Structure 1
C-alpha cells in the first residue's frame, strides 16, 4: 500500500519531530499549508507519502533549518519504492530513524543472529565494545549505545511486542568486551527469556544449513499486519516490504525455528556458559 513503507514512516517521524520542536499542532500546520489536518496526520504517520515540494513547504512553515529541509526533501524522493537501500553513515542515519519507527509500531518481531547477540537484546557494555572495535568515532559511541538500549523499550514496555529471538550458539561463547561483560550479557539474555512475550532460542553450532547462515535479519509485523524486513552490514542497510519478499523471510524464520533448540534447553545452555565464563573471571 502506497505510503506505508519504512521510508515513508521515517519521513513522517522526522516531520512530526520538526513540528513538535516548533511548538505547533497538526491543525495549525494544516491551516498554514491550506490543507486538511487529516492529510498532515497521514504524512506524519507514514500512511501517505508527501511529495518533495509538500515536504519543503511543510518544513518552511515549521521553521526547520536549511540542512533539515535538504535532508528530508531528499528522503521524500522514492518514498513509495519497493525497497530502501542506504550506503554509508549519512544515508544510514535516516534509515535508523525508520527502523525505530517500524519497531515502535510492531506487534511481532523475529530476529535471527548467528554471530552476535541481537541489537534488541544487547546490554550497553556489549554494544559499546562492538562499536569501539568497529572504529565508530568516540564522540558518537555514547549516543549510539543510548539509541540501541532505547530500542529495548518495546520489549519491556506495557503491552510489549512479541519477540522471537534466535541466537547462534557461537555468539554465547564469544568474549566481546571480555568475560565479565559477556557474563553480564548472558545474564541479561536469561532475564529476557523469562518474559512471557519473549521466546529465546539458541541455534546449535552443529546444525544443518538454515537461512540464518546467510546473515542476520529482522522481520517485523506491524499492528496493521504489514510486514517489513531489515538487513544490515557494516556499511549498508536494506529495508524490504513487498509481500513476496516478506513471505520468503516468514519461511526463513520457520526454517530457523526447526533447527533451533527449545526455549528450555536454550536457557539451560546459556546458564552453563555463564558458569564456565564465571570460573575464568
Structure 2
C-alpha cells in the first residue's frame, strides 16, 4: 500500500508519542500484545491502524486531551486520496507532514505566482509577510524560525534539487518596504548561484498558464510524489496518480511560460536596481527640500 500524507503524519505522531515515553518498538509492542513488525509499519505509514487501535496505543502511552484528539483525527480517512486541513490543529499536522516530505525529497518544485517561495525567503521578508497578514504576534517568531529552518534542505551538504517558478508579480510586490524587497531580491540572486537551484520567472506578458490559478508544490520522494496546495485558512495534500499527473502537466505548462534562468536573473537584478534607484532619488529630493525650508 502506498504511503499517504495523512498516514505518514499519523505514523509520525504515534512514533513521537512512543519515543516521548522512552519505549522501544519491541518493548511497547510487548506491552500492547502486538507484533513489533506491525507496530513498526504503523509508525512508518506503510500500514494504517484503525481508530480503535490508535485509541489503544494512545491510552497505553498516557496521551490525553487535545493531543489525543488530534492524533485520533488523523486515523480517520488516512487512506483517502486527498487530505484537507481546515482547522488550526489539522493545519499544524499538515505543516509537520509537509516538512517531513521536504526533508526526504529527491526533488521539489514550487510554483509561486504572487510571493517569493518559502525556501528562498529572507527572515525579514518572512517576518514582514506574517506581520502584514496579521499572524498573532506571539506566533511570528516561531513561524519565522520554522520557515528559515526549512531552508536547510536546499543548503545542506547533499541539497535537494529545487525548481522555483516565480511570477514577476512576486518580485515587484512590496512586502514591508522597498528596502526589504530589494534585500530579498539580492538574496534570490545569491541563492540562484547554487547548482541545485533552478530559478525561473514568468513575466506579466507570458499569457495564460496554470500558475494564474494559484500556487502549488510538487514534491518527489523515493516512495511517492505528492502535491500540496495552501490557501489562507486551509491546505490540501493530493497523492492519487491522476492528480499528480495533472499537476505535473501544469508544472510543464508553467515552465514553458518562463524565461530562461539567465534572463530570469537579469530581470530580478533589473527590478532590484530600479527599486534602489527610485529610493535614492526620493532620498535626494527629500534632502533638497529640507535644505530649502
Q: Fold match, TM over 0.5? A: yes
Matched, 1:234 2:232: yes
Could you give the per-residue CA deviations for residues 179-224 of structure 1, whole angstroms, max 9, x where no partner exists? 2211221122122211111111011111111100000000111112
Instruction: For residue 161 of structure 1, report the CA deviation from its aligned partner.
Output: 1.4
Distance in 1 between the 2:49 and 2:190 partners?
A: 43
Please report the TM-score for the alignment, with normalisation by the length of structure 2.
0.90
Q: CA deviation at 1:91?
A: 2.5
Q: In structure 2, what is the Cα distance between the partners aligned to 1:167 and 1:50?
A: 40
Instruction: Note the residue ranges of structure 1 that are not aligned, 5 or more in a row.
Output: none
Partner of 2:118: 119
More deviation, 230-239/27-36: 27-36
Q: Is the 8 A contact 2:70 2:90 kept in 1?
A: no
Name the CA distance, whole Å, in 1 between partners of 2:131 and 2:242: 38
Offset of residue 60 of structure 1? 2.5
Whichever of the two has the greater Rg, that structure is 2
Aligned to 1:268: 266
User: 1:163 — aligned with what?
Assistant: 162
Give the Å deviation of 1:38.
2.4
Checking the alignment, whether the CA contact within 8 Å between 1:5 and 1:79 is kept in structure 2 is yes
After superposition, what is the alpha-carbon deviation per residue over 1:88-127, rounded to whole angstroms, capped at 9, x for unaligned?
A: 3233111111111221221111100111011222121111
**What CA deviation, in whole Å up to 9, does each residue of 1:143-189 have, x standing for no partner?**
11111112212111222211110000111112101122112211221
Alpha-carbon distance in 1 for matches of 2:201, 2:113: 9
Structure 1 match to 2:284: none
Q: How does 1:121-140 map to 2 (within 5 A)?
A: 121-140=120-139
Q: Does the Cα contact within 8 Å between 2:109 and 2:217 map onto a contact in 1?
A: yes
Structure 2 residue runs of 5 or longer lacking an equivalent are: 281-293
Count the aligned residue pairs: 279
SS of the residue 2:157 aligns to = coil
- Indicate yes or no: 2:108 matched with 1:109: yes
Structure 1: which 4+ aligned runs deviate by more than 6 Å? none
Asked if 2 retains the 8 angstrom alpha-carbon contact of 1:27 and 1:37, the reply is yes
1:68-107 map, 5 Å:
68-107=67-106
RMSD: 1.5
Which position in structure 2 is the counterpart of 1:219? Answer: 218
Whole-Å separation in 2 of the counterparts to 1:10 and 1:209: 36
| Distance verdict in 2 for CA 1:30–1:138, change over 3 Å | same
- Alignment partners' CA distance in 2, 1:65 and 1:120: 35
Q: Aligned partners of 1:127, 1:165: CA distance in 2, in Å?
A: 17
1:10 corresponding residue in structure 2: 9
